[in-house]
Amino acid sequence: MNEKRLLITMGCSFTEGVGCWDMEITPETLRANDRNYHFYSNSEQNKKRFHEFGWPNRVGKKLGFDKVVNIGRQGDGISSQLKRFTERILDNNQYKDYKITIVFLLPEPARFSFYFDNKIKSFGPYNSHMGIVREYLFNLKNSEGDPFLEQLFYLKLFREMCKSREYDYYLFNLYTDEFNEWIINHFNDERYSTRCIDFAHYDTDHLMNLICGHFNEDGYELVSENMCKFMLSKDKNIKKDNKNFEWEWLGDDYSWKEKLE
């Protein structure tokens, strides 16, 4: 009997699929710092489109996975994603019969997280108006090295968890090799790639959208193609024929209270 295959995808807004706007309800002139940006980005129609047309489902379909579970969420850093992963995936009996592959598109490294009110709260330079973020950034004397060390620590935790559970994994980064050289040297993992998109080789204008600066659907298609190429280069049997495909976005807040009650 063929084992069912589950693709778990992890990351920030680029994994949640932000950028795949539903232009029937979204004004073309909308921009990220507009007052009504959050109204549109949180609208159910846009959210649904983000989750459906980002790279996760594209990779899942191209490689013939039976199911995609996307826990990517905008604003998340690597630590918040790992927390979501332990909450949602690690001991979830629903997935115990699947062979699991994880693709993690790494977020920007200076983000951090804590639990707040039983939920994961992410912080990062994007909310530098907050005192806690200002203090964090102020204390980074070695401002390039320290977030990378933090990222390296969580990367190692992630790898250990995957190996402990025998999950297959692939790690991607939007940074270029040059920028990312240090982490590549210290992490030293053949499943780590910066090649999901090489900005130097594409005219990225038509791959990004002006509303939020994320990829548009063409961009996410290219990202998914490059990811599949890399994954196939590491495991030529990863691609299967499969016509039944289901998907789920689980990047929302997990209720510890509910679970324990």
Q: Strands of 246-249's sheet, edge to edge? A: 192-193, 168-172, 99-105, 5-11, 67-70, 246-249
Q: Mark out the alpha helices in 63-206 (DSSP H runs).
A: 78-85, 131-139, 145-165, 181-187
* Binders of other proteins in range 180-199 (CB under 8 A): 181-182
Closest to other proteins by CB, 181 or 218: 181
Residue 164 binding other proteins, by CB under 8 A = yes
Locate 53 and state its tokens. Answer: 């047309």
Minimal distance, residue 179 CB to other proteins, in Å: 7
Is there a contact between 172 and 193 (Cβ–Cβ < 8 Å)? yes
Give the three-state DSSP class for 145. helix
CA separation (Å) from 110 to 98, 116, 133, 147, 247? 33, 19, 10, 5, 30
Nearest-5° angle of CA 243, CA 249, CA 254? 145
* Binders of other proteins in range 215-254 (CB under 8 A): none
Closest to other proteins by CB, 47 or 111: 111
* Binders of other proteins in range 58-87 (CB under 8 A): 82-83, 86
Residue 111 binding other proteins, by CB under 8 A = no
Question: Per CB under 8 A, which region of 15-23, 55-63, 129-137, 231-239 contacts other proteins?
Answer: 129-137
Which residue matches tokens 């949180």? Answer: 42
Give the three-state DSSP class for 103. strand
Which residue in the set 161, 184, 208, 250 belongs to the binding site for other proteins (CB under 8 A)?
161
Number of residues that bind other proteins (CB under 8 A): 43
Which residue in the set 141, 201, 236, 243 belongs to the binding site for other proteins (CB under 8 A)?
141
Minimal distance, residue 123 CB to other proteins, in Å: 8
Contacts to other proteins by CB under 8 A: 82-83, 86, 90, 112, 114-118, 121, 130-132, 134-136, 138-142, 144-150, 153, 156-157, 160-161, 163-165, 179, 181-182, 256-257, 260
